[in-house]
Copies of this chain bind each other. A is one copy, B any other.
Amino acid sequence: MTIQDVAKAAGVSPMTVSHVINDHPHVRTETRERVLRAIEELDYRVNVAARNLRTGRTGTIGLAVPEIDRPYYGQLAAEIIKVAAGHHLRVAIEQTGASREGELAALALSRNRLYDGLILSTVGLGPADTDLLRVDHPVVILGERIFDGPVDHVAMPNSAGARAATRHLLERGCRRVALIDGPQRGEVDVSSLRYDGYREALDEAGLPFDPALVAPIEQLTMERGAAAARRLAGSGAGFDGVFCVTDTVALGALRGLADSGLRVPDDVKVIGFDNIAEGAYSVPSLSSIDPDHALMAGTAVGFLVKRMAEKGAARQAPREFVSPFSLVARESTG
């Protein structure tokens, strides 16, 4: 059974069959369907393992994220899959569980050539692990600004975004702004950077920092966000605004504030970070910082594809991209 047999059965050229198999664009829907049907009917199979051995490519890139069921990562993955498909690449998703070990395993797998390259969202790996990233296998780090590192990096505007979010609460009249903060694991993780932005905005406004207004949580989930909001409400610390380290945490906080009998935005104003789709539909809808997921996803895949095309001595210096952001004001800040 050859590609010629499929072409004959479908009434197209072998080149067209090849285009369909390799998922090229510019094949008409009707033609594609006819070829796919012929492939099914003739039970034709490309010997992918043999082709991989010949080309040294698998056509698959890895995407390692802490957990795919968090809306932020789900929405980022959907964008990355879409952009990768435009480069004829499929995406295999690894869940690292936000652990250093899970991230190391994803790196090792990718280097073992299961993937042509890897987009790695680092949460567990820290600055001390920089050396482990000195590899000639294509890797793009996505997310925190952990590494001034040896690999390409697409970063969030963490501090600047957090500063803008906190400033927005102050501009809306808040004077006692609380922070629901994630786990701080070092100087340059996402929670520490957003904490810095929060502090900077208070300083700028000449407002004192009150540790009683900071509620740290261990996991960036709705459950922990709700519990932290209830804790803040019950502490008697007194607050009229909350900046939450992520939107998922903020959606939980909206729930926790309702449980505590506090009205948003009348009693307390709330803002998150990430601009996940759910925030536009919550009651009240959620104000947020939008770091432009589509641009980040497109840039990360673009960096990786460039790396995959480079050979040996032609290798370029690490590329770095910090996404711009915008503030999205909705009902939760009045």
Give A94 to B281 CA distance when docked, in angstroms: 27
A39 adjacent to B69 (CB under 8 Å) = no
B77:A93 contact, CB within 8 angstroms: yes
With A113-B47, A277-B222, A278-B278 given, is the CB distance from A74 to B81 under 8 Å? no
Minimum CB distance partner of A285 in chain B: B255
Q: Is A9 engaged at the interface, CB distance under 8 Å to the other chain?
A: no
Per DSSP, chain A at the interface is helix
In the complex, chain B residues whose CB is within 8 Å of the CB of A281:
222-223, 226, 251-252, 254-255
Bound state CA distance, A68 and B277, in angstroms? 13
Across the interface, which residues of B come within 8 angstroms of A33, CB to CB?
A: 101, 104
Taking A113-B46, A113-B48 as contacts, is the C-beta distance between A40 and B90 under 8 angstroms? Answer: no
Interface residue stretch chosen among A51-59, A166-174, A178-186, A201-209: A51-59
Q: Are B278 and A222 in contact (CB under 8 A)?
A: yes
Q: Given the complex, which residues of B lie within 8 Å of A12, measured CB to CB? A: none
Residues in chain B near residue A52, CB distance under 8 A? 48-49, 52
A323 on the B face (CB < 8 A)? no
Which chain B residues border A85 with CB–CB below 8 Å?
95
Q: State whether B95 touches A92 (Cβ < 8 A).
A: no
A212 within 8 A of B: no
User: A91: which B residues are within 8 A, CB to CB?
Assistant: 92-93
A-B contact sample (7 more), CB < 8 A, given A48-B52, A60-B92: A32-B101, A36-B105, A37-B104, A40-B111, A48-B112, A49-B58, A254-B281
A residues with CB within 8 A of B: 21, 23, 29, 32-33, 36-37, 39-40, 43, 45-50, 52-53, 56, 58-60, 67-71, 74-75, 77-78, 81-82, 85, 90-95, 101, 104-105, 107-109, 111-114, 132, 135-136, 222-223, 226, 251-252, 254-255, 258, 277-278, 280-283, 285
26 contacts between A and B (CB under 8 A): A21-B108, A21-B112, A32-B101, A36-B107, A36-B108, A40-B111, A40-B132, A43-B111, A43-B136, A45-B113, A48-B58, A49-B58, A60-B92, A69-B74, A71-B74, A77-B93, A81-B93, A91-B92, A92-B93, A222-B280, A226-B281, A254-B281, A255-B281, A255-B283, A255-B285, A283-B283
